[in-house]
Chains A and B, each alone.
Chain A
Amino acid sequence: MTESATSTTDWLTKRRRYKRLMYGSLWVGIIGLLVGTYLDQYLAGVVVYWAGFFGMIGVWQFSPVALYDERDTAIEQKASDYTLGVFAFVLVLGGPGGIALEEGGILTLPPAFGGAMWALVAVYAIFGVIYTLLRRRG
């Protein structure tokens, strides 16, 4: 194998290995949380979940090879934009619409509806703050 082919293979192998480690850590955390919940060991489950989550972050940030490239970031950004768009429609149409239907006696909304709408308001409020800060920073 040529030197170039060897270094390509090494790079690909490393990338694959660290990605597996990253997602493996997250899965261990998730499974730990589920097992802890099932066994009524909630605290242990949460600790394992957080360890798995922060392990994933650690691998992602400190791996010697980049695990995601600019195209991955661009796709993630687009997906975030679309997701925010979908939930914007849910909030703008669903919130006032649901209230109007309930006040008109047409519908009885479940108690969780209000909480869900306020959660979306909080999401967009945070989005607005972060957007403003980033815009000011140029």
Chain B
Amino acid sequence: MKNTLCDHRDRTDESQADLAAAVGVSRQSINAIERGRYDPSLELAFKLAAHYECAIEELFDPELDD
């Protein structure tokens, strides 16, 4: 799944470790999400959106077929 997590992280000057600690996952999980190798659960997606105070759709693009 495409996502803008890296852009949001750059804007707030956070490291992957900082973000991981904030939402309660490992740095490797944040890295895997940013690289599109792992799709987060709904719960984690909501946590990430809450952390950046934005809608989930601003963070993740499911790339659904029309």
Enumerate chain A interface residues (CB-CB to B < 8 A). Answer: 4-5, 7-8, 11-12, 15, 66, 69-72, 74
Contacts and interface: CB of A to CB of B under 8 A. Distances in A.
A69 B26 CA distance: 7
Nearest to A66: B24
Contacts of A15: 26
Contacts, number: 32
Contacts of B32: 71
B28 to A, nearest CB: 7
Q: Is the interface of B mostly helix, strand, loop or mixed?
A: helix
A71 B38 contact: yes
A120 to B, nearest CB: 31
Contacts of B25: 69-71
A12 B21 contact: yes
